[in-house]
Chains A and B, each alone.
Chain A
Amino acid sequence: MNVFQKNVAMLRCQDPALASQVLDATGGTLSIQAAKSGVPTAVVNNRSIHSAYDPLREAEQWAAHQANDCQAGEALVVLGVGLWYHVEALLGKVSQDSIVMIVVPCLSEFVDGLAVRSLDGWGERVKWVWGDPEHMATQVLQQGHRVRLLTYEPALSLHLELYDAFRFQLREQLSKRVSGALNIMVVGPIYGGSLPIAGYVVRALESLGHCVSWVDHSLHYPGYHHLGTIRDDRLRLTVQQRFSDTLGVISLAHVAEDPPDIVLAMSQAPLSMAVLEQMRRKKVLTAMWFVENFRHMTYWQQMIGGYDFWFVMQQAACLEAFKNAGASHVSYLPLAADPTIHQSVKLTEQERAELEADVSFLGAGYRNRREMLPALLGHEWTFKLWGNEWDNAGTLGKVLQRNGARIDTSTSVKIFNGTKVNVNLHSYTGEGFDPDGDSVNPRTFELASCGAFQVIDHRTLLPDLFDDTMMGVVKTPEELVPAIRKYLHEPEQRQVMAEASQQRVVMCHTYAHRMQTLLSTMGLACPDRIGAILQGERQAESLLARSRGCPELAPLLKSFPKTDRVELVDMARTIRLKGPEAQLKREELLILMMDEYRQEKRDFL
């Protein structure tokens, strides 16, 4: 029997279906060559998958680096196959009770490996994960262990799309299995568009059962706003910066008092690099949901190294720019709606009189809107313009409502509900539609969530979120008026489309969905710090099951409800509640001692 046949024989015992598929597959993906050290190495399109000199030594280094983070009992999922030198080396460095799984994205590559590298002596310790991405994710999670992804980049880059799809599936399935509650601190901005989103995020996280504290800096807005009375530009900017820095220190004080598992900052949150670095020193994970256009708001470049995780509402170019700038983790996370706020409502007679219209636009007076919206005047329909920053509105002045006052959320919802065709034009400081327009604004989700019909300008990321059976999509400014006219005459069609968009929001685009995605992304990247908590490993029941090494803790852990998250502070509190006469066990004294040091705050600020 040659190496291939021996390998297939071993596979047949482990996974007969895979062995059968292997026999039907043909190789040829990897070009096998001899490395300088004499062992086989692999090349694809002139790119080495393993070292051309010494693949074994290279694999040892990779494995040593990866094994630093791995913990006993985890499911270690290796992305990147090649000739699996790295997997073999990994097995020699991790605990025997770790489960090592290798995701096989391509049978051809696998066959090439089976032909030249023996599985003998280690192959029986690994599980091969194969099939479509959804199935592979299910196989991994069926193990019931904490999942840690380990990437071997040279081989991973051969099948990027498939691995991305696998990660997406894994994240989605994990997000539905969450049983543990995190302590999350949401840090909002002083003012601006991300302020209401911070509120929605807080509600969503609470609805998912997490313990949330909101550091709401909008309380300080009056003071910040008053600084605008300083006439000298440099003085004003300096003072505003110091004001903002102070709010950052206030955030840090909140973190010191109750250290959260995650600090989630919204765009414009006043957290300076110094504050973020201090949080990192104190082992607090930080994430930023950057709900801005990265091309227009560029402050992320200065902050990129400050946050552990970045979530952005744009894809491709944005993700690449953030990675190139040094972001360690950056993920796409589009905006959403909150169906408990953005919902269908009935208007009173008085509200109808003021808020109803055939056609409405609600938003700020950006240049492209000022140029396109006059085309909506003078038609057979009524048109109302809502929102602020419409100074010198010109012909639009006669349709501008409430003298251009800022419209609050509940009124917005009523306007959306009271309008037959809501016009949703994304802001742009140039003419017409933004040629780079990719991200989808919050109004799109909010209108849909209200069950309101909208005509929207085309965005490259829109089709992934809503299709054209859910809203009228125009690709040029010239299509806007005909589209409005068309839909005004098709009330039933409007209703069908609006309801479809509303269902889509409820199914996929609520802030709760976004937070599930955000947390499972962080959980996958930090399996021991976040993933473990999300999977309930800090719950009393789970801690009890794992307390065999220290059975003296069992009675204490049993005193908690099974599904309660139990931390050092909770155990210490329970011990102290035993009362002054209590005779404490040694383990209880050790917990009290550690709790004393846990409370130490002296070097936090």
Chain B
Amino acid sequence: MPRSLLIQLARLGDLIQSLPAISSLHSSLPDQPFDLLCAAPLTPIGKLFSGIQGVYPWEGERWHDLATMDGGHKERLVIAAEQYIADCAFPQYSVAYNLNNHPRSIVASHLLSKRVVGAGDQGPLRLSRPPWVTYLRQMASDRGSNRIHLADAFCGVCGVNPPAVVPTIQATHVDLPTDLAHMVNEGSWDRIGIVLGAGDGDRRVPLVAWRQFIEACIDRLPNGLCVLIGGPGEREAALALEDQLPPSYLSRLFNCVGRTSLPQLAHVFNRCQWVVGSDTGPLHVGVACGARAIGWYFSRARVHETGPYGVGHYVWQCRRSADPERLDVPSVKSVTQLPCSWPVMETLQLMQDQHGSENPTEWELWKSHRDEWGMFYMNGEQPDAAVLQRKNIWERLSAPSANQYSDFSPHSLIAGCSS
């Protein structure tokens, strides 16, 4: 049976957002074996994906070392690169589904498969892209009032519709440190995952906001247990946060930051009722593991493309991260300036199903919904025009005529874009 390969070389968030595409591909081709190629550090999480048989690591460091080796023997470079690919022991692929528009992914897809679906499908040097990839690229650069979620657009890239059921990941058994195992397995706490990390500094929620949130959770949720989540880069911030909290609160705070592998993190998320934070990568992992999410999106993150996937999630989108009237027009200022206030109590109210009618000045609340065209977020009771336009977009981008690239322009599909 010929095998297929799904290529996703981007970061954690994008990898998790590829789950719906994998799920839909698997549903439409149930007998087809699928493998996944992803960045080497993310392979442990890829192995948790159902519908995937083999996960292959793409080692950027190794390629970088090859590229910066002494270049006196070009043939040795090529032989070494070929050897690296041979060492990976890739099977023969009949098709590679490439989800990234980056040249590396395009070249990788052509190295590993004769046929490519997605970016680079017409050849490694062709500049034209299939309609869904063009749409995604346009969406990333121009924004606009798009309502097609990134995860659903990945489905479109692969030539399938959004999945009927939201896919999840279930952590397999992993060994946990004793205290962590105790926190995960014992007691009937309402565990609230708090994602401290955010990658870049300008996407980081100040510690004072987290302190207020934790204090509020512990004060008002009698059964609440706050679980700090983050990578080694956030270890110091987590310790500082613990220092700032009154000692009486510490018994209901658990610090996992920098202590968990990705499978362990999934295990922790499997036991969380809620996950709150601004870093979309861990938020997506939390949601895929079954937690409900409340995102605080204030930098470059935009609810419509990267809001948590599924039903019943919320995103507080900072108005200053875009034009106050229109989320479609980001301002440069917004990327570097933090909001003045944080939706601390409002988030707590959402967790208690007590949301009031008034939003905080700087923030706008969006709630996730889902229909046959995938995910969408609304900030009211009725879908707006952009939401309703998704059917039209899907039909136009997926129509056979759209694959004749020459006259395809995504501008007409993304309202608010200047063409």
Contact = CB atoms under 8 A, between A and B. Distances in A.
Interface of A: 282-283, 528-529, 532-533, 537-538, 543, 546-550, 552-553, 557, 566-568, 571, 576, 578-584, 586-587, 589-598, 600
A587 B82 CA distance: 8
A576 B125 contact: yes
A552 B68 CA distance: 21
5 contacts: A546-B73, A547-B75, A553-B74, A597-B67, A597-B68
Interface string B61-100: 0011011101111111111011001000000000000000
B73 A283 contact: no
B81 A600 contact: no
Contact of B74 (A283, A571, A581, A584): A571
A581 B123 contact: yes
A528 B72 contact: yes
B77 A596 contact: no
Contacts of B81: 590, 593-594
Contacts of B108: 593
B316 to A, nearest CB: 30
Contacts, number: 104
A543 B74 contact: yes
A594 B77 contact: yes
A177 B384 CA distance: 75
A589 B103 CA distance: 11
B75 A549 contact: yes
B68 to A, nearest CB: 6
Given A590-B111, A592-B124, A597 B72 contact: no
B78 to A, nearest CB: 5
Contact of B107 (A547, A567, A593): A593
A600 to B, nearest CB: 6
Contacts of A553: 74-75, 78
B123 A596 contact: no
B312 interface: no
B277 to A, nearest CB: 24
Nearest to A547: B75
Given A283-B68, A582-B125, A590-B82, A550 B75 contact: yes
B108 to A, nearest CB: 7
Contact of B64 (A557, A584, A600): A600
A259 to B, nearest CB: 8
B104 A596 contact: yes
Nearest to B63: A597
Of B74, B75, B82, chain A has the most CB atoms within 10 Å of the CB of: B74
B123 A582 contact: yes
A589 B108 CA distance: 8
Contacts of A552: 78
A583 B123 CA distance: 8
Contacts of B73: 543, 546
A578 to B, nearest CB: 7
Interface in B299-327: none
A593 B63 contact: yes
Given A553-B78, A589-B107, A595-B67, 10 more contacts: A546-B75, A548-B75, A568-B71, A580-B125, A581-B123, A581-B126, A586-B82, A591-B74, A592-B103, A593-B63
B74 A547 contact: yes
Contacts of A576: 125
Contacts of B122: 580
Contacts of B127: 580
B60 interface: yes
A566 B127 CA distance: 26
A528 B70 contact: yes
A485 B81 CA distance: 74
Contacts of A578: 125
Determine which residue in B75, B110, B123 has the highest number of CB atoms from chain A within 10 A of its CB, and name it: B75
A538 B123 CA distance: 30
Contacts of A598: 64, 67-68
B125 A584 contact: yes
B10 to A, nearest CB: 14
Given A567-B71, A568-B67, A591 B104 contact: no
Nearest to A575: B125
Nearest to A600: B64
A549 B73 CA distance: 10
Contacts of B64: 597-598, 600
A584 B110 contact: yes
A436 to B, nearest CB: 43
A538 B60 CA distance: 26
Given A582-B125, A594-B63, A550 B78 contact: yes
Contacts of B77: 568, 591, 594
A566 B77 CA distance: 13
Contacts of B72: 528, 532-533, 537-538
Contacts of A566: 74
Contacts of B82: 586-587, 590
A443 B96 CA distance: 69
A582 B73 CA distance: 25
A291 B72 CA distance: 33
B75 A594 contact: no
B103 A557 contact: no
B296 to A, nearest CB: 26
Contacts of B85: 590
A587 B78 contact: yes
A282 to B, nearest CB: 8
A579 B125 contact: yes
Contacts of B79: 549-550
B71 A589 contact: no
